[in-house]
Amino acid sequence: MAGRYPDRIKQLPLYDGRFDAYKLQAQGSDVLFASYQPGMEIDEHTHDTDNYGVITRGELILFMDGREQKYGVGDWYHVPAHKEHAARFEVETDEVEFWFHEDSRE
């Protein structure tokens, strides 16, 4: 798996999904240390989690609400639960994603 993460992060379980990531599970949330290869696209989808992420290398191109927005190193983004969105990566990209489960607010 690509990504410039410390060895300790690379010892975490792998995420089984549409992209490469190491997964740190926490109460009411998951934390993913994700990596994307140039040219990767994630088709439009939704999920049951409220997602926040920060780009640590490269660039995320996020499609949501009929708009395209680019996020670079140090930029945070938010995708609300059940919101349709898609993503594209033109360069090698790493990010840390926080997936908050809906029932974690209770």
By CB atoms closer than 10 A (0-12, 13-18, 19+), residue 74 is exposed
Q: Residue 1 domain-assigned?
A: no
Take residue 34 and report the two structure tokens written for it: 């994700």
Domain extent at residue 94: 7-105
Q: Residue 34 domain-assigned?
A: yes
Q: Residue 100 domain-assigned?
A: yes
Q: Residue 27 domain-assigned?
A: yes
Cβ contacts of 7-14, under 8 Å, gap ≥ 24: 9/33
Residue 50 contacts residue 80 (beta carbons within 8 Å): yes
* CATH number of the domain that residue 51 is part of: 2.60.120.10
Domains held by the chain: number: 1
Task: Collect all residues with Cβ–Cβ distance below 8 Å to 105 and sequence separation of at least 6.
Answer: 28
pLDDT (tens digit, 9 = 90+) per residue, 4-62?
787 878 888 899 988 889 988 888 999 999 999 999 999 999 999 999 999 999 999 99
Q: Residue 2 domain-assigned?
A: no
Phi, psi at 10, each rounded to 5°? -70, -10
pLDDT (tens digit, 9 = 90+) per residue, 30-45?
999 999 999 999 999 9
